Amino acid sequence: MARAPKVLPGPAKTKGFVQAAKGVHVYVGGNGATNFGLILTKEKPVIVDNDIRVRKEFLAGAHKLARKPVGLVLNTHHNFDHTSDNGYYHERGAVSFGVDLITQEMEREEKAGIWVKQMAGRGPDVTPFIGKLHIAPPQVTFEEMITIRYGGRTFQMIYIDHCHTLGDSVVWMPEERILFTGDLVDNRTLPVNRLGNFANWIAAMDILDMFPAKRLVPGHGPLPSQPKAAIKEGREYLLHLRDRTQAALRKAKTPEKAAPLVQMPEYQRWYRYGNVGVNALKMAQELKGKKK
Ligand SMILES: [Zn+2]
């Protein structure tokens, strides 16, 4: 019988602002909650992602570091916990950027009436916003890539593929060599894949690995010290999930019966360990060639 795999180390318990490089700050959500970037420039600061539910905590720290209102908002993907405060910044004169699929996906969720509601029970309470908060899609959109030169810095937003969501992009700062991966990498935090595609996601890890990054800022989980190690860990999780789900499908035939057979005990110290079952079910459906 195969020995049980060794339990992997858990994430560092960081929460709040940490510095990734000179003038490049990251608000780490803690406990696997969403991370946000705050980049100081010669003009106003630039932020990567936002969430209305943590506006207070984020801005309290941001004001101390920046002392100016936000100039640009860069969205890595459409999820509520990365874009729900776009409107607040728009009203205060900021300009937002994102891949055009973000707009499409936000509009779909708004139309279906799930934009806010689907967050119920996940993280900070959304009840006060139901029926009150509407989508505020990025004002400047692009298909493949956009280069933004602002305040003495360069930001490249690059569409990767349909992985975690339909429209996943990264923010690359080529001069500082910092890569904001959005939820394509969740450091020592199990990913969420309600709308995604695992096969594309596995392939995307090789694309991320090609960036000569000095620092990697994950969508969730603490900042890793080694970008390549974080990408490798993320890829290995996806490969283990695929291989074990494949094996379970050989025994159980249907995704619903196979998913509960998938065990990932070595990840028990990672945040969102409870996602093992839902991820196995999504993987099983994908391997069986069914739509979500
Ligand atoms: Zn997220």
User: What is the tens place of the pLDDT at every residue in 176-190?
Assistant: 999 999 999 999 999
Query: In the numeric block, which tokens belong to residue 197?
Result: 């595609």
Instruction: Specify the CATH number for the domain of residue 196.
Output: 3.60.15.10
What is the distance in A from the centroid of ligand 1 to the CA of 76?
Answer: 9
The confidence score (pLDDT) of residue 290 equals 65
pLDDT interval class at 253 (50, 70, 90): confident
- Asked if the structure places residue 41 within a domain, the reply is yes
What is the distance in A from the centroid of ligand 1 to the CA of 4?
Answer: 30
CB 266 within 8 A of CB 5: yes
pLDDT tens-digit map of 31-79: 999 999 999 999 999 999 999 999 999 999 999 999 999 999 999 999 9
Helical axes 276-287 vs 227-252, angle rounded to 10°: 70
Question: Does pLDDT of 5 surpass 80?
Answer: no
- Asked if the structure places residue 232 within a domain, the reply is no
Residue type, 91: E
What is the distance in A from the centroid of ligand 1 to the CA of 77?
Answer: 8
What is the distance in A from the centroid of ligand 1 to the CA of 48?
Answer: 12
What is the distance in A from the centroid of ligand 1 to the CA of 78?
Answer: 9
Provide the percentage of residues in the chain whose pLDDT is more than 90.
Answer: 90
Cα gap 119→46, rounded to integer Å: 26
- Asked if the structure places residue 262 within a domain, the reply is no
What is the distance in A from the centroid of ligand 1 to the CA of 100?
Answer: 18
Q: Please give the angle made by the CA atoms of 200, 202 and 208, to the nearest 5 degrees.
A: 95
What is the distance in A from the centroid of ligand 1 to the CA of 219?
Answer: 6
Average pLDDT taken over every residue of the chain: 95
The confidence score (pLDDT) of residue 157 equals 98
What is the distance in A from the centroid of ligand 1 to the CA of 269?
Answer: 19
Cα gap 10→105, rounded to integer Å: 33
Cα gap 220→218, rounded to integer Å: 5
The confidence score (pLDDT) of residue 13 equals 93
Helical axes 227-252 vs 198-209, angle rounded to 10°: 160
What is the distance in A from the centroid of ligand 1 to the CA of 191?
Answer: 9
Question: Does pLDDT of 1 surpass 60?
Answer: no
What is the distance in A from the centroid of ligand 1 to the CA of 250?
Answer: 32
The confidence score (pLDDT) of residue 108 equals 97
What is the distance in A from the centroid of ligand 1 to the CA of 2?
Answer: 35
What is the distance in A from the centroid of ligand 1 to the CA of 187?
Answer: 12
What is the distance in A from the centroid of ligand 1 to the CA of 184?
Answer: 9
Average pLDDT of the segment spanning 192-199: 94
DSSP string, 189-231: B----SS--HHHHHHHHHHHHTS--SEEEEEESPPPS-HHHHH
What is the distance in A from the centroid of ligand 1 to the CA of 249?
Answer: 29
Cα gap 244→270, rounded to integer Å: 18
What is the distance in A from the centroid of ligand 1 to the CA of 79?
Answer: 6
Average pLDDT of the segment spanning 259-266: 96
Number of helices (H), then strands (E), belonging to the chain: the values are 8, 12
Average pLDDT of the segment spanning 96-120: 95
| 11, 39, 167, 180, 280 from 96: Cα distances, Å | 31, 14, 16, 16, 35
- Asked if the structure places residue 280 within a domain, the reply is no
Average pLDDT of the segment spanning 90-94: 98
Question: Does pLDDT of 211 surpass 60?
Answer: yes
Instruction: Give the gyration radius of the chain's Cα atoms.
Output: 19
Reported for 34-38, long-range contacts at CB under 8 A and 24+ positions apart, including other chains, are 34/81, 34/82, 34/123, 34/219, 34/220, 35/217, 35/218, 35/219, 35/220, 35/221, 37/74, 37/171, 37/180, 37/217, 38/62, 38/65, 38/66
What is the distance in A from the centroid of ligand 1 to the CA of 244?
Answer: 25
- Asked if the structure places residue 279 within a domain, the reply is no
Residue type, 163: C
- Asked if the structure places residue 5 within a domain, the reply is no
Domain count along the chain = 1
The confidence score (pLDDT) of residue 2 equals 59
What is the distance in A from the centroid of ligand 1 to the CA of 82?
Answer: 6
Residue 190 belongs to domain spanning: 16-226
Give the single-character DSSP code of 19: E
What is the distance in A from the centroid of ligand 1 to the CA of 252?
Answer: 32
The confidence score (pLDDT) of residue 130 equals 87
The confidence score (pLDDT) of residue 239 equals 98
The confidence score (pLDDT) of residue 20 equals 97
What is the distance in A from the centroid of ligand 1 to the CA of 253?
Answer: 31
What is the distance in A from the centroid of ligand 1 to the CA of 30?
Answer: 13
- Asked if the structure places residue 285 within a domain, the reply is no
- Asked if the structure places residue 44 within a domain, the reply is yes
pLDDT interval class at 128 (50, 70, 90): confident
CB 248 within 8 A of CB 261: yes
pLDDT tens-digit map of 130-163: 888 999 999 999 999 999 999 999 999 999 999 9
Q: In 84-226, which ranges are continuous DSSP H helix?
A: 86-91, 100-111, 198-209
